[in-house]
Amino acid sequence: MKLARTNALLPLPTSPETDTFGMEGYPVDLNSNGTVDLCQDSQGNPPFGIVVLGAKHPGKVTIAVAAGGLAGTVRVKLVQPVLSAGLLLKLADGVGVVGFAPDTNSGLRVVMAQSLEPGAANELIEAVLFKPIYYAS
């Protein structure tokens, strides 16, 4: 049997409330109706994936699925600086968005990537995406 697809990159519609154009690297939630919204809570439910290629509503956004099946690396959007490669990245609140920041190894958090390079806040950096891990403390 052939694979259905060689990479877990899915074209999904945005919800009417969400414009993902220019939002590459940000995490998204999957709604029950099959649309996606930008993640709004860094400590809530683990996201479905991240935006690889954004789109204006009613277009389709390309999402890298966080649960696995991705054959390569992605770019994630930082809301705090990352000083070196190899750091685990958690979801963190930015100004009106949820992005990525170095994991602090404490507190309520969702960790779902590992940096492959350093970067400044508001920068896209290369990272390995993995299934989100929810830590209660």
Strand, coil or helix: 22: coil
The rounded distance, in Å, linking the Cα atoms of 132 and 19 is 24
Confidence at residue 18, expressed as pLDDT on a 0 to 100 scale: 86
In the predicted model, what is the mean pLDDT of the chain? 94
Confidence at residue 57, expressed as pLDDT on a 0 to 100 scale: 86
Query: Which helix (H) or strand (E) covers residue 99, if one does?
Result: strand 98-102
The rounded distance, in Å, linking the Cα atoms of 129 and 15 is 24
Q: Where are the alpha helices (DSSP H) in 1-137?
A: none
pTM of the model: 0.94
Confidence at residue 122, expressed as pLDDT on a 0 to 100 scale: 96
Confidence at residue 6, expressed as pLDDT on a 0 to 100 scale: 85
Confidence at residue 17, expressed as pLDDT on a 0 to 100 scale: 85
Using 70 as the pLDDT threshold, list the residues of the chain that sit under it.
none
Confidence at residue 115, expressed as pLDDT on a 0 to 100 scale: 98
